[in-house]
């Protein structure tokens, strides 16, 4: 390759696009004298890799993803550029010479990158000409810099990291009494590389076969350093196999032009680590300040925008890094797209790194690499270590992933003939976080028994706010109608065109967050693109402000009484997950839990088993942003698990389960009474459901989908999801006796989450808010559901909360008069007071009967064909008991009117007045007077 001198020339000859590169390696192969198990090492590497994804520097290739393949083989996906400094070496074994100014620019950029790595606790340790890449603008891009870090300094792998020709003596002969100086290893490598390129000569004589000579030379260098101040001036240095051209340059004194450069290289090549500068220190070397001034590296502009929360702190030393770059029209659909997103779409378009590399036969073509014996310097100067061939474990060959097919797919998805997706906003329209309204207008005639899936055509509880956002997209374009509405969620998630549009929509919305929060929630009700899930969840939950400072403000190290339990639970929490099973994952989860306890000490919240599971979705989605994971958890719990983590949480849980039981009776009386009869109560199975919002019973992949809906739903949605789960398994449950129910949870893998959500929403739509009212539920008050304004009048007897023991015993729920009035066209009110009382005043169109005569009149009641059945009694009578009888007789949607007839007399403003007609029709065939019906309208 020709020598290049200027940036312009470099720019001219390269393609415009970026590439994704992959290389592959295996963790330790289980060599006997190592105490690291391969699978464990793999998991550790997997966990450490995550931090590499957060590194962002103009002179570093971005790490994109790590993938575990068969036999624990790891595949690392990263930003790749086709050109690298190694090309300078390819002309007949010689290195191409280059001018000082080019080298100065490169040295500066490389040191910038190395200093940035050091700040993040990372040493490259693997620097070589072929992994110093440069992009189309000639900007240096270091690759492979994370291998040493992710393998814990090479401990987790059985191949050497680093190229001996570029490593300093201390990297080969680790001195027992000297800790390895971070970053300085790379300074040596840089010195060697620059000296080679300047002189046009390899640093070391000979080739790879002379590796033993190289090692002994490095040994000699290290030994002599102890007795010599300036080793490069000494005579013995000529005997070490260093090329003459290199030594002549290092020892030269004549040429003034290069005097600073020579000093710089000599500074890099200090044999004694304690005298060698760090990358950071070298940045202020005179070499960079002399004639060149501040003209260095004007190209520290950030080159694409990532979606990030506005409140997210961006900490970067380069002020200009996030200056917007001129947005020129570019036809490449991948232009300015974050690499992680490109990779994500690449997978959706059918890509898979392992099969991709297998197709190209990577296992056959693994080149041998130079080997470093693992040696240590021991006191008598002997070397100890292993020299087994471990090259098969590692390939430094980089494969690029073809993005051709992805481009084609996306061009179709964005082109003029693109597939139009209609966001099915109706799907979840009703549910809003403040949706507690009950404005029944009309119901379809679609009849359902309690055991079918109620999908009434119209919403019983429309959200009056749900029209504030129209279904047109944010670009102002009206979404055209299309045929592929309501594709199953799984299909939508796998459709690259659909996801492309969803990610674009949400990326834009996230950029406008928090102003766009309502719109985010609106669109999230349709579905949430998995790629942005972590950030979208945070936006829905309303996380904002300096959440990092919030997280930092809590002490996470204080010992608490629950530490031991946390230590037991953390290593058992979703361990099939690569992130959570890694040691780093354990540390993070532990810190999050400790932080939660510290943050809620004043709320008297404690650690209960299950909190770990509840944390897991947030941690896995925000693995590199603990503070965000914490803030999500912190806003999530008050909404969906309020007081579940009180040290005495039993009143809260007991009430929650009682309401759950009522709901089951309401929607599936047959199943409810069956479970009641066999004694299989919610206390036995449902506590962990609600305490962990189902994360304990479903794998994370299912939990994500469930939570996508829970987050945009009302706080009661989990209750309905619980009912849906039971009803999906009802066929099995209805045949079970108590002892058979132990195997109940084995059926959980069969639960269809999407169906479960649909059914939960359908039930939610037709359930009056008062039925699910809980004393411990945040945001709700018993009789002010209509407009949210609390009533200040003195509480009447029916406004007192039902004692928890009564609530727990009752099989059917209570309903408020307000809700009853809204339902009046669909409800059969069954008045169980005496005939005398009935005739003095009753609910219009209600029937009056003796509650002991249910068997006799059940048929007549069914003939009324109403969707809801409300029992009206008076204080202290048999209402709840009769309601339970109705449930056992499989009447759907049975409830007891709160306050009975008294509430009707007191609250005439509810729009229904007590009827006092006297000429009842008799509903009974045998003419007895035990069944009467108010005859208004008949
Ligand atoms: Zn009447």
- The end-to-end CA distance of the chain, in Å, is 99
Whether residue 627 has pLDDT greater than 70: yes
Same domain for 820 and 886, yes or no, is yes
Whether residue 759 has pLDDT greater than 50: yes
| Count of structural domains, the chain | 5
Using CA atoms in the order 787, 793, 797, 798, what is the torsion angle rounded to 10 degrees? -10
- CA-to-CA dists, residue 814 to 714, 762, 786, 896, angstroms: 20, 20, 17, 5
Distance 795 CA to ligand 1 centre (A): 29
Distance 686 CA to ligand 1 centre (A): 43
The number of residues in the chain equals 938
Between 399 and 615, the higher pLDDT residue:
615
Between 924 and 638, the higher pLDDT residue:
638
> Looking at residue 758, what is its pLDDT?
84
Lowest-pLDDT range, 276-285, 445-454, 887-896?
A: 445-454
Spatial separation of the C-alpha atoms in residues 457 and 444, rounded to whole Å: 5
Using CA atoms in the order 880, 885, 891, 897, what is the torsion angle rounded to 10 degrees? -10
> Looking at residue 454, what is its pLDDT?
29
Same domain for 51 and 171, yes or no, is yes
- CA-to-CA dists, residue 15 to 18, 136, 905, angstroms: 8, 7, 82
- SS3 string, 504-560, reads HHHHHHHHCCCCCHHHHHHHHCCCCCHHHHHHHHHHHHCCCCCHHHHHHCCCCCCCC
Average pLDDT of 874-898? 90
**In this prediction, what percent of the chain has a pLDDT beyond 70?**
74
Alpha carbon of residue 333 to chain centroid: 26
- Residue 921 — pLDDT band, cuts 50, 70, 90? low
Average pLDDT of 417-442? 42
Which residues fall within 8 angstroms of residue 69, CB to CB, at 6 or more apart?
A: 24, 75, 353, 354
Say if residues 828 and 843 touch (Cβ distance below 8 Å).
no
Say if residues 156 and 27 touch (Cβ distance below 8 Å).
yes
Distance 186 CA to ligand 1 centre (A): 93
Whether residue 449 has pLDDT greater than 60: no
Distance 917 CA to ligand 1 centre (A): 4
User: What DSSP string describes 615-663?
Assistant: HHHHHHHTTT-HHHHHHHHHHHHHHHSTTTTBSS-HHHHHHHHHHHHHH
Q: Which residues pair with 747 in a beta bridge?
A: none
Whether residue 435 has pLDDT greater than 70: no
Lowest-pLDDT range, 426-430, 479-483, 913-917?
A: 479-483
Does some domain include residue 664?
Answer: yes
Spatial separation of the C-alpha atoms in residues 590 and 603, rounded to whole Å: 20
Lowest-pLDDT range, 68-72, 386-390, 718-722, 909-913?
A: 386-390
| CATH number of residue 200's parent domain | 1.10.510.10
Distance 844 CA to ligand 1 centre (A): 5
User: What DSSP string describes 127-171?
Assistant: --GGGEEE-TT--EEE-STTHHHHTTTTTT-SS--S-GGG--HHH
Distance 839 CA to ligand 1 centre (A): 8
331-341 burial by CB neighbour count: b if 16+ within 10 A, else e? Answer: eebbeebbbbb
* Strand (E) or helix (H) holding 83: strand 83-84
Same domain for 634 and 684, yes or no, is no
pTM: 0.81
Kind of pairing, strands 83-84 and 132-134?
antiparallel
Distance 877 CA to ligand 1 centre (A): 22
Distance 912 CA to ligand 1 centre (A): 12
Does some domain include residue 588?
Answer: yes
Distance 933 CA to ligand 1 centre (A): 7
Average pLDDT of 516-525? 90
Distance 861 CA to ligand 1 centre (A): 17
How is residue 697 annotated by DSSP? T
**In this prediction, what percent of the chain has a pLDDT beyond 90?**
30
Distance 783 CA to ligand 1 centre (A): 26
Does some domain include residue 324?
Answer: no
Does some domain include residue 377?
Answer: no
Only one residue has tokens 């009212």, namely 773
Distance 935 CA to ligand 1 centre (A): 6
Say if residues 26 and 157 touch (Cβ distance below 8 Å).
yes
Same domain for 64 and 136, yes or no, is yes
Same domain for 275 and 128, yes or no, is yes
Distance 456 CA to ligand 1 centre (A): 30
Spatial separation of the C-alpha atoms in residues 14 and 479, rounded to whole Å: 39
Whether residue 2 has pLDDT greater than 60: no
Angle (CA) 913 918 920, round 5°: 100
Distance 498 CA to ligand 1 centre (A): 57
Locate all alpha helices (DSSP H) within 823-878, ordered by sequence: 835-840, 854-863
Distance 875 CA to ligand 1 centre (A): 21
Distance 859 CA to ligand 1 centre (A): 22
- 573-626: per-residue pLDDT in tens? 999 998 999 999 999 999 999 999 999 888 788 888 889 999 999 999 999 899
> Looking at residue 469, what is its pLDDT?
34
Does some domain include residue 11?
Answer: no
Average pLDDT of 791-801? 61
- 531-552: per-residue pLDDT in tens? 999 999 999 999 988 888 999 9
- CA-to-CA dists, residue 134 to 85, 87, 139, angstroms: 8, 11, 5
Average pLDDT of 705-716? 90
Average pLDDT of 412-439? 49
Spatial separation of the C-alpha atoms in residues 21 and 329, rounded to whole Å: 26
> Looking at residue 4, what is its pLDDT?
20
Same domain for 620 and 667, yes or no, is no
> Looking at residue 609, what is its pLDDT?
85
Whether residue 472 has pLDDT greater than 50: no
Distance 921 CA to ligand 1 centre (A): 10
Tokens of 780: 């709700």
Distance 905 CA to ligand 1 centre (A): 14
Distance 894 CA to ligand 1 centre (A): 21
Distance 884 CA to ligand 1 centre (A): 26
Whether residue 630 has pLDDT greater than 90: yes
Does some domain include residue 378?
Answer: no
- Residue 116 — pLDDT band, cuts 50, 70, 90? very high
Lowest-pLDDT range, 76-85, 775-784, 787-796, 845-854?
A: 787-796
> Looking at residue 325, what is its pLDDT?
45
Q: Which residues pair with 77 in a beta bridge?
A: 22, 65
Distance 829 CA to ligand 1 centre (A): 12
> Looking at residue 881, what is its pLDDT?
92
Does some domain include residue 360?
Answer: no
Which of 315-319, 435-439, 608-612 ranks highest by mean pLDDT? 608-612
Same domain for 669 and 603, yes or no, is no
Distance 791 CA to ligand 1 centre (A): 30
Average pLDDT of 239-263? 84
Whether residue 414 has pLDDT greater than 80: no
Task: Among 611, 640, 669, give the residue marking a domain's end.
Answer: 640
Whether residue 308 has pLDDT greater than 50: no
Average pLDDT of 216-234? 79
Say if residues 661 and 682 touch (Cβ distance below 8 Å).
yes
Task: Among 606, 640, 674, give the residue marking a domain's end.
Answer: 640
Distance 915 CA to ligand 1 centre (A): 5
Whether residue 15 has pLDDT greater than 70: no
* Strand (E) or helix (H) holding 39: helix 38-52
Same domain for 49 and 161, yes or no, is yes
Average pLDDT of 908-927? 66
Spatial separation of the C-alpha atoms in residues 127 and 163, rounded to whole Å: 8
Indicate the SS3 state at residue 931: strand
Distance 845 CA to ligand 1 centre (A): 6
How is residue 16 annotated by DSSP? S
Distance 842 CA to ligand 1 centre (A): 6
- 29-67: per-residue pLDDT in tens? 554 455 556 668 888 899 999 999 988 888 999 999 999
Does some domain include residue 672?
Answer: yes
Same domain for 551 and 463, yes or no, is no
Which residues fall within 8 angstroms of residue 865, CB to CB, at 6 or more apart?
A: 447
User: What DSSP string describes 438-472?
Assistant: -------S----TTS----SS-SS--TTTTSS-SS
Nearest to 77 by CA among 393, 496, 397, 399: 399
Lowest-pLDDT range, 423-432, 641-650, 813-822?
A: 423-432
- Residue 421 — pLDDT band, cuts 50, 70, 90? low
Average pLDDT of 788-809? 66
Tokens of 808: 């727990």
Spatial separation of the C-alpha atoms in residues 661 and 671, rounded to whole Å: 10
Same domain for 821 and 859, yes or no, is yes
- SS3 string, 399-442, reads EEECCHHHHHHHHHHHCCCCCCCCCCHHHHCCCCCCCCCCCCCC
- Report whether the peptide linkage leading into residue 514 is cis, meaning its omega lies within 30 degrees of zero: yes
Average pLDDT of 382-410? 66
Same domain for 207 and 93, yes or no, is yes
- Residue 777 — pLDDT band, cuts 50, 70, 90? low
Whole domain around residue 465: which residue ranges?
A: 427-476
- 676-695: per-residue pLDDT in tens? 999 999 998 899 899 999 99
Distance 769 CA to ligand 1 centre (A): 27
359 burial level (CB within 10 Å; 0-12, 13-18, 19+) = exposed
Which of 105-114, 338-347, 349-358, 440-449 ranks highest by mean pLDDT? 105-114
Whether residue 391 has pLDDT greater than 50: no
Distance 920 CA to ligand 1 centre (A): 7
Task: Among 259, 289, 319, give the residue marking a domain's end.
Answer: 289
Distance 913 CA to ligand 1 centre (A): 10
Average pLDDT of 827-854? 89
How is residue 833 annotated by DSSP? S
Locate all alpha helices (DSSP H) within 713-842, ordered by sequence: 717-728, 730-734, 753-765, 804-809, 817-822, 835-840
Tokens of 776: 């411990």
| CATH number of residue 845's parent domain | 3.40.250.10
> Looking at residue 445, what is its pLDDT?
34
Average pLDDT, the chain: 77
> Looking at residue 671, what is its pLDDT?
94
Spatial separation of the C-alpha atoms in residues 627 and 638, rounded to whole Å: 18
- 127-184: per-residue pLDDT in tens? 999 999 988 888 899 999 999 999 888 888 877 788 888 988 888 776 555 555 578 9
Spatial separation of the C-alpha atoms in residues 240 and 246, rounded to whole Å: 12
Tokens of 312: 């997210």
Same domain for 561 and 463, yes or no, is no
Whether residue 360 has pLDDT greater than 60: yes
Spatial separation of the C-alpha atoms in residues 72 and 42, rounded to whole Å: 6
């Amino acid at each position: 390759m020709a020598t290049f001198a200027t940036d312009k020339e470099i720019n001219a000859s390269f393609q415009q696009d970026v590439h994704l590169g992959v290389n592959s390696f295996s963790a330790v192969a289980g060599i006997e004298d190592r105490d690291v198990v391969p699978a464990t090492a793999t998991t550790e590497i997997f966990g450490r890799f995550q931090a590499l994804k957060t590194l962002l520097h103009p002179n570093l290739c971005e790490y994109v993803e790590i993938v575990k393949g068969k036999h624990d083989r790891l595949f690392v996906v990263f930003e790749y550029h086709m050109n690298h400094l190694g090309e300078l070496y390819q002309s007949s074994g010689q290195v191409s010479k280059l001018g000082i100014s080019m080298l100065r620019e490169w040295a500066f950029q490389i040191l910038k990158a190395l200093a940035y790595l050091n700040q993040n606790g990372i040493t490259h340790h693997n620097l070589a000409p072929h992994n110093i890449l440069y992009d189309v603008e000639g900007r240096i891009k270091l690759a492979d810099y994370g291998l040493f870090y992710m393998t814990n300094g090479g401990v987790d792998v059985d191949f050497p990291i680093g190229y001996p020709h570029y490593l300093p003596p201390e990297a080969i002969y680790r001195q027992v009494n000297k800790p390895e100086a971070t970053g300085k290893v790379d300074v040596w490598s840089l010195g060697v590389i620059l000296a080679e390129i300047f002189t046009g000569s390899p640093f070391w004589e000979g080739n790879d076969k002379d590796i033993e000579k190289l090692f002994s030379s490095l040994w000699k260098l290290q030994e002599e350093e102890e007795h010599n101040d300036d080793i490069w001036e000494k005579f013995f240095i000529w005997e070490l196999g260093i090329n003459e051209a290199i030594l002549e340059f290092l020892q030269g004194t004549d040429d003034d032009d290069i005097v600073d450069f020579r000093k710089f290289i000599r500074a890099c090549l200090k044999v004694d680590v304690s005298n060698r500068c760090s990358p950071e220190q070298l940045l202020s070397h005179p070499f960079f300040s002399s004639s060149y001034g501040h003209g260095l590296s004007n190209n520290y502009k950030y080159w694409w925008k990532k979606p990030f929360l506005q409140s997210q702190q961006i900490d970067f030393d380069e002020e200009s890094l996030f200056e917007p770059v001129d947005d020129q029209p570019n036809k490449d659909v991948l232009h300015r797209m974050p690499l992680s997103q490109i990779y994500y779409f690449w997978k959706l378009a059918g890509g898979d790194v392992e099969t991709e590399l297998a197709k190209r036969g990577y296992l056959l073509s693994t080149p041998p690499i130079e080997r470093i014996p693992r040696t240590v310097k021991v006191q008598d100067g002997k070397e100890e270590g292993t020299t087994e061939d471990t090259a098969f474990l590692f390939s430094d060959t980089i494969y690029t992933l073809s993005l051709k097919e992805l481009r084609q797919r996306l061009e179709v998805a964005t082109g003029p003939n693109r597939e139009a997706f209609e966001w099915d906003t109706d799907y979840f329209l009703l549910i809003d976080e403040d949706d507690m309204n009950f404005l029944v207008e009309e119901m379809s005639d679609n009849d359902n028994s309690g055991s079918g899936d109620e999908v009434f055509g119209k919403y019983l509880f429309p959200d009056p706010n749900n029209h504030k956002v129209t279904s047109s997209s944010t670009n102002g374009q009206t979404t055209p109608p299309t045929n592929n509405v309501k594709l199953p969620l799984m299909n939508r998630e796998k459709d690259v065109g659909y996801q492309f549009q969803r990610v674009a929509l949400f990326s834009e919305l996230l950029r406008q967050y928090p102003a766009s929060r309502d719109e985010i929630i609106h669109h999230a009700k349709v579905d949430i693109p998995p790629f942005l899930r972590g950030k979208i969840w945070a936006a829905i939950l309303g996380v904002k402000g300096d959440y990092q400072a919030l997280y930092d403000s809590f002490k996470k190290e204080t010992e608490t009484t629950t530490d031991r339990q946390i230590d037991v639970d953390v290593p058992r929490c979703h361990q099939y997950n690569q992130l959570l099973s890694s040691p780093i994952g354990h540390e993070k989860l532990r810190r999050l839990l400790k932080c939660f306890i510290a943050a809620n000490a004043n709320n008297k919240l404690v650690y209960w088993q299950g909190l770990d599971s509840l944390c897991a979705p947030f941690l896995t989605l925000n693995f590199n942003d603990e503070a965000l994971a914490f803030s999500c958890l912190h806003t999530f719990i008050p909404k969906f698990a309020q007081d579940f983590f009180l040290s005495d949480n039993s009143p809260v849980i007991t009430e929650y389960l009682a309401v759950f039981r009522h709901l089951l009776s309401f929607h599936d009386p047959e199943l409810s009474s069956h479970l009641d009869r066999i004694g299989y109560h919610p206390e036995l199975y449902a506590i962990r459901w609600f305490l962990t919002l189902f994360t304990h019973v479903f794998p994370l992949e299912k939990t994500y989908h469930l939570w996508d809906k829970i987050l945009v739903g009302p706080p009661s949605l989990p209750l309905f999801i619980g009912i849906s789960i039971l009803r999906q398994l009802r066929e099995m449950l209805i045949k079970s006796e108590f002892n058979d129910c132990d195997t109940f949870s084995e059926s959980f893998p069969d639960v269809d989450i999407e169906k479960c959500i649909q059914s939960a929403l359908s039930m939610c739509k037709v359930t009056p808010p008062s039925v699910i009212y809980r004393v411990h539920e945040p945001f709700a008050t018993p009789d002010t559901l209509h407009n949210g304004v609390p009533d200040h009048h003195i509480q009447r007897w029916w406004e007192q909360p039902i004692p928890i023991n009564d609530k727990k015993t009752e099989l059917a729920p209570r309903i408020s008069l307000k809700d009853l009035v809204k339902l009046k066209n669909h409800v059969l009110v069954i008045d169980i007071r005496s005939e005398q009382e009935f005739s003095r005043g009753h609910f219009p169109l209600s029937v009056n009967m003796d509650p002991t005569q249910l068997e006799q009149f059940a048929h007549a009641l069914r003939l009324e064909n109403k969707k809801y059945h409300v029992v009206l009694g008076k204080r202290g009578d048999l209402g709840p008991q009769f309601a339970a009888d109705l449930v056992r007789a499989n009447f759907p949607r049975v409830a007891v009117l709160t306050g009975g007839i008294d509430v009707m007399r007191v609250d005439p403003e509810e729009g229904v007045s007590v009827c006092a007609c006297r000429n009842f029709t008799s509903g009974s065939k045998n003419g007895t007077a035990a069944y009467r019906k108010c005859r208004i309208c008949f």
